[in-house]
Chains A and B, each alone.
Chain A
């Protein structure tokens, strides 16, 4: 069966520090991968998605970047964090074929607090 991992689970970082959040998926190949941010415990904002290694689509220009160095690894980064980067970051995957090729499956999330 497929599983998705995110780490760390929680993170407290000072303003101006770098960021690296990692997401990995097991049990599938060539998934579509997604990064979302959820602020104030409510709406979801799609940040980036990737349909393959090295292929990144940015949805909202901002202080963040994403990379996909391996088929099942998706990394969210920042060189200098802002206070407004605080939030709950969710990674998701979608299969490229089969019965589950339409819905996305979400990881447990990373709670980021920038002070």
Chain B
């Protein structure tokens, strides 16, 4: 079975500093990986995906993620964090018709 792990329950970063939200995966075959963001009392919003091709994937709102096959990781990054980036972030991997989600990481950006 495919799975993803988000090792940090919460990440704190100062506004203007770079941010990283970690995700590692365990799959058989080539992974299809995704990042989503959720603001309070809202549905999940799709940020970016890795299917194939370049290991650095650019997404919405200035976010990017780097697919690293040797480390089985797909960390979400942003060069300069904004207070408005504070939210719950989910990593996911596709398994057939379904997505398998990580437990989520709360990102807090302080001004």
Contacts and interface: CB of A to CB of B under 8 A. Distances in A.
B90 interface: yes
B97 A51 contact: yes
Contact of B32 (A59, A102, A109): A102
Interface stretch (B15-23, B45-53, B77-85): B45-53
Interface footprint category on B: 20 to 34
B41 interface: yes
A46 B98 contact: yes
B101 interface: yes
B13 interface: no
B97 A32 contact: yes
Interface core residue of A102, A103, A105 (most chain B CB under 10 Å): A103
The binding surface of chain A is classed by DSSP as: strand
A114 B41 CA distance: 17
Interface string A71-115: 000000000000000001010101000000011111111010000
Interface of A: 32, 34, 41-44, 46, 49, 51, 57, 59, 88, 90, 92, 94, 102-109, 111
23 contacts: A32-B97, A41-B88, A42-B88, A43-B101, A43-B103, A43-B104, A44-B44, A44-B90, A49-B98, A51-B97, A57-B97, A88-B41, A94-B97, A102-B34, A103-B46, A103-B49, A104-B46, A104-B99, A105-B46, A106-B36, A108-B42, A108-B43, A109-B43
6 closest Cβ contacts across the A-B interface? A106-B43, A106-B44, A44-B101, A108-B43, A109-B43, A103-B46
